[in-house]
Amino acid sequence: MEIKKIVTGALEENCYVLSKDGTCLIVDPGSDSKAIKELVGEDKIIGVLVTHAHFDHIGALRDFLNSNRRLKIFKKSNLNDMKEVEVGTFKFIPIMTPGHSSDSVTFYFKDDNAMFVGDFIFRDTVGRCDLPTGSSEEMDKSIEKIKTYDDSIALYPGHGDETTLGREKQYNLYFMEK
């Protein structure tokens, strides 16, 4: 799977285009659908993954839906925690990771050793929990849940630089034992 990133909008949100076999998935189309479509190129868009519904992560979603009414949207409300999903040749496991927001989902692509974490985890920190539906107690539970996964997994956050789960376990204060 090829992973391409484009930074969109005033809040510099990371949108990812995951490409394989002439098809692609879009993770968090924040804004600037034209630039995202340019990154998609000739690939056929077969789905959009929404890590959470904050405006900076879904601003261009309507544009993609308007151009393809049958486009499959994957978000918390239509996913089952830890139940593998197959769409085209892609396979991923949704992991419910509330804390930053109650609808936060991490998308784990086990075969590619990659997690798309939205605003759940950033390099050396986590997403803020003081917005509506945020919860520091839920964040603590989500961190404990994600800590059980392999250190080598690459984490692709909704803002900023990529990291690994092992790095976060070592340097992220929110991952340290209380």
- Over residues 52-86, the pLDDT tens digits come to 999 999 999 999 998 888 899 999 999 999 999 99
How does strand 23-27 pair with strand 163-164?
unpaired
Domain 2-175 is in which class? alpha beta
Give me the residues of the chain with pLDDT under 50, please: none
Q: Where are the domains of the chain?
A: 2-175
Question: What pLDDT does residue 93 have?
Answer: 98
Separation of alpha carbons 103 and 75, rounded Å: 8
Question: What pLDDT does residue 124 have?
Answer: 97
Question: What pLDDT does residue 69 have?
Answer: 83
Count CB neighbours of 100 within 10 A: 29
pTM over 0.95: yes
Separation of alpha carbons 160 and 134, rounded Å: 20
Separation of alpha carbons 155 and 151, rounded Å: 10
CA-CA-CA-CA dihedral for 172, 106, 119, 129, to nearest 10:
-80
Question: What pLDDT does residue 178 have?
Answer: 52
Question: What pLDDT does residue 101 have?
Answer: 98
The backbone torsions φ and ψ at residue 151, rounded to the nearest 5 degrees and listed phi first, read -60, -25
